[in-house]
Amino acid sequence: MDIQRLILFVALGLVSMMLMQNWQNHQLQKNPAAIEQGQNSQLNNQAASVPGVPSAPVLNSEGVPTAVAPSAIPNEPVVTTKGELIKITTDVLSIDIDTLGGSISYAGLIQHPIKMAVPNDPTVLLQDNALDRYKAESGLTGAADLALPNHHTQFSAQKLSYDLGSADSLEVPLSYTGANGIQYTKIYTFKRDSYRIDVRYQIQNNSSSPWQGNLYGHLLRTEPSDSGSGSYLTGQTPSFTGGAYYTPEELYNKLSFSDMGDEKLEVNAPSGWAAMLQHYFVSAWLPKADGNYRFYTNSNTRLANPEYKLGYLDLTPTSIAPGQSGEISTALYIGPKERDRLDAQGIDGLNLTVDYGWLTVIAEPLFWVMRKIHNVVGNWGWTIILITILLKAIFLPLSAASYKSMAKMKKLAPRLKTLKERYGDDKPKFQQEMMKVYKEEKVNPAGGCLPILVQIPVFIALYWVL
């Protein structure tokens, strides 16, 4: 009976810990005062964070990755303000593209409202304001004298509002003319019922010299107030907020904001992806397979609200002959961690962003079974009920053995009480007589607890799957 009480106390402690953790996360979300401190100083320092002389082999001092020897980009504007915002609406996404840099500065998930009762209040994944900066930036890099368009370049737009409407796809072009009259068109392509955004650069080389450049894409983010919230049971895994990248050699790796601030990542690989995770959602740059890429991080911790970048650089330059045109492309996923959608991207390891931590070996089969049940019943509510019934049926023999053992222990309680009164002052003798009674009655004192212990990891895994 003492062992049973211990198990119950442990279970109660774990539940209490999880409740306390969720309460603390709720309090952090209600009190962003810590983030607001130093807000004005951050805005004043943003221009100073873009000096004119590069200092790193992977990123120059303007945050632009360099595939060649680091060199300053001429005529690069200091980022002190925003350009015009291009508003794009699809059936699943609400997007803002800033003409200053051609970056995605806002992404709202229309089909994932914060409250079901308020459908016009979508979950905001990307945003760019004084308290929270989370942007998807991309550009071209190469020889400095070409003035290649990067995430600081001022683009021009044909119009400032686009709506997918009843069409299956939508293209949003931005244009820029660089040195020697070289024309660049950055095109975002959106498709119906898709969180994938295709990004491509069309280059018209009007110069008399060959053109050469490399594509890069990264995610810029400040650390949110509730980042890293997790639980003792999962080591911050199911509610992890931070970066992640995948390569065939190093596989799936998560990076906390402190990791990105302490040490720069610089990994070369033929394929992979770079992402920012936020519990149920993910934003990821998805370069093409069979290439030559450098995955990198960079941070600016001098700001009052430090900024972190995680992305990739295509190390294989694209060349375009004089008078000819060419194209460079990549893709960006901004949306929920839905397994079917992640699998549909055709990118190795992207489904690992749905991370169950140390319980993955149990959680993955559970989710597979739930998907099969859902395919039949078509309702997640009934799916949850049926998976619960199925698990209880599987564990029925263990539960029955536990109940029988507890019933036997209850039946022996009067005899054990008598032994305790008789040998109360002689504990070794009491233990000896008690074990003798257990042996005579063929009772295992741990028999009522072990079946419960076996079930605990399974139901915790089911909890995280749900």
- Per-residue pLDDT reduced to its tens digit, 251-293: 999 999 999 998 899 999 999 999 999 888 999 999 999 899 9
Closest CA relative to residue 152, chosen from 221, 101, 214: 101
The mean per-residue pLDDT over the stretch 344-353 comes to 92
Nearest to 107 by CA among 242, 283, 311: 283
Residue 417's pLDDT is: 79
Cβ(334)–Cβ(197) under 8 Å? yes
Concatenate the DSSP letters of all residues of 151-213 into one string: TT-B-EES-SEEE-TT-SEEEEEEEEE-GGG-EEEEEEEEETT--EEEEEEEEE--SSS-EEE
**Which pLDDT value is given to residue 434?**
76
423 against 230, higher pLDDT: 423
CA distance 165 to 154: 28
Element (H, E) at 405: helix 396-422
* Confidence (pLDDT) at 446: 62
Q: Which amino acid is at 371?
A: R
The top-scoring range by mean pLDDT among 37-51, 84-98, 134-148 is: 84-98
User: Of how many residues is the chain composed?
Assistant: 466
User: What pLDDT sits at residue 232?
Assistant: 34
Distance from C-alpha of 330 to C-alpha of 98, rounded to nearest angstrom: 19
Tell me the residue type at 172: V
* Residue 215 and residue 201 in contact, taking contact as beta carbons nearer than 8 Å: yes
Question: Residue 154's pLDDT is what?
Answer: 95
Bridge partners, 123 (sequence order):
109
Whole-number Cα distances in Å, 290 to 2, 213, 246, 271, 299:
60, 18, 14, 6, 28
Q: Which residue has the higher pLDDT, 75 or 212?
A: 212
CA distance 161 to 88: 6
Q: How much is the pLDDT for 151?
A: 94
Over residues 357-399, the pLDDT tens digits come to 778 788 888 988 998 998 999 898 999 999 999 988 888 887 7
Judge whether residue 100 has pLDDT over 90. Answer: yes
Position 45 scores a pLDDT of 36
The tokens describing 356, both together, are 């169950």
Predicted confidence band at 43 (pLDDT cuts at 50, 70, 90)?
very low
